[in-house]
């Protein structure tokens, strides 16, 4: 039996949430967690320009560990996370999508940008009712953040071209599942059109 689904009504006001577009995920020469993500970064450059032009809120997340006891089970499961030590430089946002003054970078320790952060409160303070979730990786932190966005009652959009994954099959499967149950998975152009 096919699950009934429908497209969400557009939000009144969107924020852009760029998930983990840090060097640890965008630069394969520096990090085992990274993948070739130039197309994803370029799509985010376009989105950033559109959000900034309209003075819409922009938020970033990055992963950085200051202590051994932070997210220890997650790090035990995925040992590659150990490279994301605070001060390593791998937590720095890729300069191609560098934050401007007033665009906060939230440090997280788990997959979701909402878990154990104040992202939901910041979004509400910015008077938004919808989020555009982008970044890396689709099957991990993007999925977790998009799911939690919905669970915090934000209308959630995931632009296909603005997310990526080391595993193409996982990327496609997660976009399909997100689109059925948790978010509107749209093209970059469709997403940009929502802002107008």
Active-site residues, by number, are: 141
Q: Please, what is the angle between helix 168-181 and helix 143-151, to 10°?
A: 10
Tell me the HSE value of 112 on the side-chain side, using a 13 A CA sphere.
16
Find the angle CA(64)-CA(111)-CA(38) to the nearest 5 degrees. 75
The DSSP-derived string for the chain is: -PPP--PPPPPSSEEEEEE--BHHHH-TTT-TT----HHHHHHHHHHHHHHHHTT--EEEEEE-BSSTTTTHHHHHH-GGGGG-BTTSSTTSBPGGGPPPTT--EEEESSS-SSTTSSHHHHHHHTT-SEEEEEEE-IIIIIHHHHHHHHHTT-EEEEEGGGEE-S-HHHHHHHHHHHHHHT-EEE-HHHHHHHT-
């Amino acid at each position: 039996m096919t699950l009934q689904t429908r497209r969400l009504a557009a939000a009144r006001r969107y924020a852009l949430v760029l998930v983990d577009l840090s060097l640890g995920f965008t630069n394969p020469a520096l990090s085992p967690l990274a993948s070739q993500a130039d197309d994803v970064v370029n799509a985010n450059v376009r989105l950033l320009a559109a959000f900034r032009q309209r003075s819409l809120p922009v938020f970033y997340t990055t992963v950085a560990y200051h202590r051994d006891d932070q997210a220890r089970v997650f790090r035990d499961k995925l040992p590659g996370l150990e490279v994301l030590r605070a001060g390593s430089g791998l937590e720095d946002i890729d300069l191609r999508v560098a934050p401007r003054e007033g665009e906060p970078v939230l440090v997280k320790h788990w997959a979701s940008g909402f878990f154990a952060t104040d992202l939901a409160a910041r979004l509400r303070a910015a008077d938004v009712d919808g989020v555009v979730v982008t970044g890396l990786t689709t099957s991990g932190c993007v999925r977790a953040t998009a799911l939690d966005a919905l669970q915090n009652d934000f209308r959630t959009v995931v632009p296909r071209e603005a997310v990526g994954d080391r595993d193409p099959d996982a990327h496609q499967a997660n976009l399909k599942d997100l689109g059925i149950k948790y978010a509107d998975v749209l093209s970059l152009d469709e997403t940009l059109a929502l802002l107008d």
